[in-house]
Chain A
Amino acid sequence: MIAIIVLSHAHIAEALKEGAEMIVGDQPGFHAFGLQAGESPDALRERLERALVAEAPNEVLVLTDLRSGTPFNVAVSLMEQHRFRHLSGVNLGLLLEALLSRDRLGVDDLCHTLAEVGPTTIVDVNAFLEG
C-alpha cells in the first residue's frame, strides 16, 4: 500500500492525522511531521528522510501544507535523491481521499485523482445547499 507522509508548519500535520484517523480509524503507513517554531528545516528533512527510508520499497506520497513554504521546500530538496510523489495543498478532505483510495490505486493514479478531487474539497456551502 502507498505510504502517506504529511509535512506542515507547526502542528497542522499531526492534527490532520488525528482528525483523519478520527474518521477512518487508525491507519498503517501514515506519518505526520511538523516544522516547529524555531526549529531548523534540517530537523524536518531528517525526519522525512528517515520515514522515506523506513517505507522503502513502498510507493510514497508526500503531502505538504503550503506551496513554497519550508515543509514544501524540504520535501522538494529530497525529490532528487528519493522516489516519491509530492502534492501540495493538503486539507482534511484531500487527506481522507488519499487514505481511502490508496489501496486500490498506484501512486501516479492516486495523484491524478487527488488533483481532480482537490478543488471539490472547497465548497461554497450556501450555494451547495441551494443545489
Chain B
Amino acid sequence: MKNIVLARIDDRLIHGQVVTAWVRTVDANQIVIADDALMRDTFTQRVLKAAAPPGISLEILAVDDAAVHLLEDAAGERIVLLTKTPQAIERIVEAGVLLDTVILGGLGFKQGRARFNRNVSASPEEIDSFKRMLDRGIDILYQLVPSEVPAHIKKLLEG
C-alpha cells in the first residue's frame, strides 16, 4: 500500500493556499482526488490541475480506482488523499486501504445538510458514514488548517 500522509474531506478539494499549507506540513509529493462525479467534468479537472501546488503530481480518479491506486505497491509517494464526502473515504477504507486518521476540513452548507459550525454541515447519510468510520476505530478530526488545534468530530456530531 502507498503512503497516505493525509486523508482529508473538504468539498472545496484543492482550495488554493489551504491545500498548499497542508502539502507543506505533511511533506507530500502527490495529491489524489477520489471523486466519481469529477470523472465526467473535464473542465473542473483542468481547473484543479491548474490549482495544484507546483511540484506536486495530481491524480484525479474515480473512488474505486483511487482505492486500487492506493493499494498498489509504494514507490516513494507521499500522498494527500482528498474527497468531497465521508462516503468516498469510507468506500476507500472498505476496499482495504488502512487509515488511522481522517481530517475533516470543510463541508459547505446546502439543502439536506444540517450545520455544525461555520465550515461544516452534513446530511444524515454523511453523519452515518462518519459514525461507521468512527466505529471502525478511525479518528476523525476537524481541522481547517495545519496550525489549528484539531477537534474530535464526536464532539461536533453530538453538539
Contacts from A to B (Cβ < 8 Å): 22-25, 93, 96-97, 100-101, 103, 128-129, 131
Contacts and interface: CB of A to CB of B under 8 A. Distances in A.
Contacts of B119: 25
Given A22-B118, A25-B119, A93 B16 contact: yes
Nearest to B146: A100
A5 B148 CA distance: 19
B147 interface: yes
Contact of A96 (B17, B46, B47, B146): B17
A103 B118 CA distance: 23
| Contact residues of A: prevailing secondary structure | helix
A128 B50 CA distance: 7
23 contacts: A23-B15, A23-B144, A24-B18, A24-B144, A24-B148, A25-B144, A25-B145, A25-B148, A93-B17, A96-B18, A97-B17, A100-B18, A100-B20, A100-B145, A100-B146, A101-B21, A103-B147, A128-B50, A129-B46, A129-B47, A129-B50, A131-B46, A131-B49
Contacts of A101: 21
Query: For this complex, into which size category does the number of interface residues on chain B fall?
Result: 10 to 19
Contacts of A93: 16-17
A23 B148 contact: no
Contacts of A25: 119, 144-145, 148
Contacts of B46: 129, 131
Query: What 5 A-B pairs come out closest when comparing CB atoms?
Result: A100-B21, A25-B144, A96-B17, A24-B145, A103-B147
